[in-house]
Amino acid sequence: ALGTLNAVAQEGGAAADRVFEIVDATTHIADAPDAERLNRVNGHVVFDGVSFAYPDGTRALNGLSFVAAPGETVAIVGPSGAGKSTVFNLLMRLYDAESGAVSVDGKNVRGVVGDTLRANIGLVAQDSALFDDTVQNNIALGRLGATNAEIEAAAKAANAHDFITAMPDGYQSPAGEMGRNLSGGQRQRVALARAILRGAPILLLDEATSALDAESEAKVQAALAEFSKGRTTLIIAHRLSTVRAADRIIVMEDGRAVEEGTHDALMASSGAYKRLVELQLS
């Protein structure tokens, strides 16, 4: 349930303040009295020796360190339970690291106002939740005040325009509670359109194309490649075909980064990444 709230909160922008309140109450994360407000960031993300366990004691990260430079696309892969989604939770400050530091543009996220941090982040999650409103309004949550033309352009970029216009009422068609009137792949494309409209300098994709067929995924990947230019993009994916083109791939095991490099370099090194690829192909 919290994961769904997180997804709604991150994707919903200013209109989801009420959801942030629920998230804040659930995770007990409060801004420091002297917290600094972030303006638009360049997107330099650093995890420096970060360790973390969830309140139930589940150990998730063990001294994780990595850097994502502004404009770089970094994929994070690894087996289930390796700590991949926790990276996103800490970057969005839904939890605080117990040791080490998470920083954006050199500022420790503990010392910044949470909503100004999250305003710089767009998230598309595997279980992207939609509100019980029109498809257009669900996309418009990405940036309040966006014009119809801007909303439509974002939908086209996310390969969503055609299925939306084929619905009985087009963009005014109801998405239904939690988007139940749409298929999983359609929900993901609406959430992606929302993130594209948001235009945040940091983009987080958590299994963002997992519900798409091969043809739709190829179109969305092409759109993402264009949209990601100049943005810091972090990708979590189990389907390793979706991460081949990343500037860098970080392989996680047991909460640590055990390998790092391009797809070709990691395949040549015959380590953990190559084993993951071979496991998927078998």
Average pLDDT over residues 276-282: 87
CA distances from 49 to 70, 79, 249 (A): 20, 21, 18
**pLDDT at position 20, please?**
46
Question: Who has greater pLDDT, 213 or 7?
Answer: 213
* Confidence (pLDDT) at 181: 95
Q: How far apart are CA 49 and CA 211, in angstroms?
A: 33
Q: What is the mean pLDDT of the chain?
A: 87
With 0-12 / 13-18 / 19 or more C-beta atoms within 10 angstroms meaning exposed / middle / buried, residue 81 is: middle
Number of domains in the chain: 1
- Cα angle for residues 243, 180, 95 (degrees, 5° grid): 55
Tens digits of per-residue pLDDT, 53-111? 998 999 999 999 999 999 999 999 998 888 999 999 999 999 999 999 999 999 999 99
**Banded pLDDT at 3 (limits 50, 70, 90):** very low
User: What's the pLDDT score for residue 28?
Assistant: 59
**What is the DSSP code (8-state) at residue 247?**
S
Give residues with Cβ within 8 angstroms of 109, minimum separation 6.
90, 91, 93, 102, 103, 117
pLDDT exceeds 70 at position 14:
no
Q: What are the strands of the beta sheet with 45-53, ordered from one edge?
A: 59-68, 45-53, 99-104, 107-108
Q: What is the pLDDT of residue 256?
A: 95
Q: How many residues does the chain have?
A: 282
> How much is the average pLDDT of 110-120?
94
Q: What is the pLDDT of residue 27?
A: 54
Q: Sheet with 256-261: list strands edge to edge.
A: 121-125, 202-206, 232-236, 73-77, 248-253, 256-261
- Cα within 13 Å of Cα(227), Cβ side: 29
pLDDT tens string 216-240: 777 777 777 778 888 999 999 877 8
pTM: 0.84
Domain of 166, CATH number, reads: 3.40.50.300
Domain holding 183, by residue range, is 2-281
End-to-end CA distance of the chain: 34
